[in-house]
Structure 1
């Protein structure tokens, strides 16, 4: 049996649907079973990451588990550690963790540091594991565009190899259904191109018919322009460091992991936007 977290979200839901189509029996760990997708062979169980007893009960008998990272929060690493500990206690054989490209203790993108801390805890748990380090989601590029058709941020001429969520889901499904071959592996999941935000804006313009442009900001300007949203400091740091990580070259680079794992080429940003 395979257990899947995050099935009410875009990535976990994609994976759960692929497993169901393949006839795989799965348990869906969700905070609200009423929101879980209705899939053949799937049973939804209420178990939040921090609910130790519920997670242990839900994961008993699960050979392989997909751990989609929890929603961004100040205590996300603590939630992750609690889940990993419960998975180990439940006797899970293999944990597949959705991490982030360039995860490191000193990563410019602040949330990539959280992913590195989670990876380290998984390694220390003794569980067999596979890490899927996703680059920025291609689907998220449109969300960077302001109402005036401008992408603003301190990315300079930096690049990101944005990746389609469908490609990530295909890769995750391949690992979940053949985990032994991928034990101990870390895969960088990227799109087929590494793009500047000028290039992203041009692709979005062609795909949507809108006039979209990129205007670089300084780091100080980025903090000032986002401050009115009233988010906590850690969230503001995460937003701004998405761009500064590009400027630092930490989201650049194209991997062949998507085609190797899925058997098909990685999807270009233009195709992702056109299909949305």
Structure 2
């Protein structure tokens, strides 16, 4: 088995994949910004690089056959960072890339942050890697973080979202980096059901024991309620379009990919909240 490079190894997705690779005895290299936070795993080499440092990335990826490319955090320069990773991987001779994209990513999709994913997919394809695109829905694990002052607030209307557990995404990613048969595929990764934000609020209330309401803001109200954080316009657009993408129906998608790849049903919101 060729060397597998794992980015984001200190995070939720990359860290789970790295632990899975260690358990499988696969040779891996962890590409991290802060080596003190890298997981201590048998057989794992650690190299330091950021997505903005092409030279360090090329050194970090040298000799790697497969790359798990965990997308960068939302940033005004994220697409430039992704281009740097792509160019460094090509220069280092990486053959196969598994990239964490977003469900329905396209240049015109409602969720503005997902447009970077569409552009990154195009870059990776143009660079002629053997690719696997993991097009994740929103993460179930993150939904509780949307709650402020006892409410989920946003212009989602009655739209529904098939959000997915990060643990399930990581399991699919692990399978994809280990098994060549996933090359050339794009997977839409969702949970087992599409929920409205009213239903999400009800589940958070029932499991957490603290009432959570859903407040269906207008788009204007959503921008106004977030304007006090001092965030730049591109970030405000991303925050608000999180909800308008759901309202549009673009994320009302449920697939069986998690079960087909991992052999177990995708986790529900209740599973995630109860730590299953």
Aligned residue pair count: 274
TM-score, length of structure 1 as denominator length: 0.97
* Counterparts of 1:34 and 1:145, CA distance in 2: 32
* Counterparts of 1:50 and 1:127, CA distance in 2: 20
* Counterparts of 1:23 and 1:253, CA distance in 2: 35
Offset of residue 80 of structure 1: 0.2
In the TM superposition, 1:156-167 aligns within 5 A as: 156-167=157-168
Q: 1:14 aligns with which of 16, 23, 34?
A: 16
Aligned with 1:28: secondary structure? strand
Q: 1:105 aligns with which of 104, 107, 121?
A: 107
2:151 matched residue in structure 1: 150
1:120 matched residue in structure 2: 122
In the TM superposition, 1:1-276 aligns within 5 A as: 1-147=3-149, 149-178=150-179, 180-275=180-275
Over 3 Å off, 4+ runs: none
Q: Deviations over 1:124-149 (max 9, x none)?
A: 001110000000000111111112x1
* Counterparts of 2:29 and 2:151, CA distance in 1: 42
Offset of residue 81 of structure 1: 0.8
Offset of residue 213 of structure 1: 1.3
Q: For the Cα contact (< 8 Å) 2:172–2:258, is it kept in 1?
A: yes
Listed as ranges, the gaps of 5+ residues in structure 1 are: none
Aligned with 2:215: secondary structure? strand
Q: For the Cα contact (< 8 Å) 1:100–1:133, is it kept in 2?
A: yes
Aligned with 1:89: secondary structure? helix
Offset of residue 110 of structure 1: 0.3
Aligned with 1:87: secondary structure? helix
* Counterparts of 2:73 and 2:124, CA distance in 1: 18
Offset of residue 19 of structure 1: 1.1
Compute the RMSD of aligned alpha carbons: 0.9
Q: For the Cα contact (< 8 Å) 2:13–2:170, is it kept in 1?
A: yes
* Counterparts of 2:14 and 2:237, CA distance in 1: 26
Q: For the Cα contact (< 8 Å) 2:4–2:65, is it kept in 1?
A: yes
Offset of residue 242 of structure 1: 0.3
Listed as ranges, the gaps of 5+ residues in structure 2 are: none
Offset of residue 233 of structure 1: 0.9
Q: For the Cα contact (< 8 Å) 2:197–2:214, is it kept in 1?
A: yes
* Counterparts of 1:56 and 1:76, CA distance in 2: 18
* Counterparts of 1:144 and 1:57, CA distance in 2: 38
* Counterparts of 1:133 and 1:110, CA distance in 2: 15
Q: For the Cα contact (< 8 Å) 2:176–2:183, is it kept in 1?
A: no
Q: For the Cα contact (< 8 Å) 1:208–1:274, is it kept in 2?
A: no
* Counterparts of 1:262 and 1:49, CA distance in 2: 30
